[in-house]
Amino acid sequence: MIHRHLPDDAATQRLAEALAANQPRGAVVHLQGDLGAGKSTLARAWLRALGVTGTVRSPTYTLVERYPVEGGEALHLDLYRIGDAGEFDFLGLDDIDAALWLVEWPERGAAALQAPDLVIQLAIEGAGRAVELVPGGPLGAGWLAAVSDDPRLSALSEPKP
Ligand SMILES: Nc1ncnc2c1ncn2[C@@H]1O[C@H](COP(=O)(O)OP(=O)(O)OP(=O)(O)O)[C@@H](O)[C@H]1O
Ligand SMILES: [Mg+2]
C-alpha cells in the first residue's frame, strides 16, 4: 500500500504519470472517493500521459469513453449514473481486451466489473487530496513496487501523522 498527500492538481498529475509509466498491459483500476475527490482529474492526466491529445470527456452520461493508445484501447468509465447491471451489459464491453480500464464509481458496477489490479482511494485532505494505492493481486503489487521507486512519486510527501 502507498499513501501520499497530493497538495494540488500538479501533484495528482505527477502521480498519474508515474502510474502510467509503469502500467502493466490490461490493468484494471478502480478509482474510489466521494464527489469531487479528484478521480476524473487523475484519469484525465493518466490518459494524457498515455498520449491522448484530443478532448478527454467526462463519461458522466455516456458511462464509458474509449481512447486508442499504444497496445490497444484505454477505457474510462464513470458508473455513478448507471441504472442496473443490465445497463452495464448494454455497453458491450465484455469482449474488449483493453490496454487499460479506469473505472470511477466501481461500487455501482459491482458484479459486472472485473476485479481490480489496483484500487486508488482519493479523499479531500486540507486544500489537497490524500491518496491510497492498494494492490488487488500480484500484478498490482509488482506495479506498485515499480511506482514507489519512480522519481515522480518520491517527490510527493507522505502524509503527516
Ligand atoms: N490534488 C488535488 N489538490 C487540490 N485539488 C484537486 C486535486 N486533485 C483534483 N482537485 C480538484 O478537485 C475538483 C474535483 O475533481 P474531479 O472532477 O476530478 O473529482 P471526481 O472525483 O471525478 O468527482 P465526481 O465523482 O463528481 O466525478 C477539481 O476542481 C480538481 O481541480
Ligand atoms: Mg469524476
pLDDT digits (tens, 9 = 90+) for 20-31: 999 999 999 999
Q: Which of 52, 76, 49, 72 is nearest to 64 (CA)?
A: 76
Residues with Cβ–ion distance below 5 A, ligand 2: 39-40
Report whether residue 49 contacts ligand 1, using a CB cutoff of 6 Å: no
Report whether residue 45 contacts ligand 1, using a CB cutoff of 6 Å: no
62 vs 160, more confident: 62
pTM of the model: 0.95
Report whether residue 37 contacts ligand 1, using a CB cutoff of 6 Å: yes
> What is the phi-psi region of residue 17: left when phi exceeds 0, alpha when psi lies from -120 to 50, beta otherwise?
alpha
Catalogue all structural domains in the chain, each as residue range(s) with its CATH number. Answer: 2-154 (3.40.50.300)
> How high does pLDDT run on average in the chain?
93
pLDDT at 155: 79
What are 44-61's pLDDT values in tens digits?
999 999 999 988 999 998
Q: What is the mean pLDDT of residues 114-130?
A: 97
Ligand 2 centre distance from Cα of residue 78 (Å):
7
Report whether residue 32 contacts ligand 1, using a CB cutoff of 6 Å: no
Q: What's the rounded Cα separation, in Å, for the pair 145 and 129?
A: 22
Percent above pLDDT 70 for the chain: 98
What are 59-107's pLDDT values in tens digits?
998 999 999 999 999 999 999 999 876 788 888 888 788 999 999 999 9
Residue 36, pLDDT above cutoff 90: yes
Cβ–Cβ under 8 Å, residues 131 and 6: yes
Ligand 2 centre distance from Cα of residue 108 (Å):
14
Report whether residue 41 contacts ligand 1, using a CB cutoff of 6 Å: yes
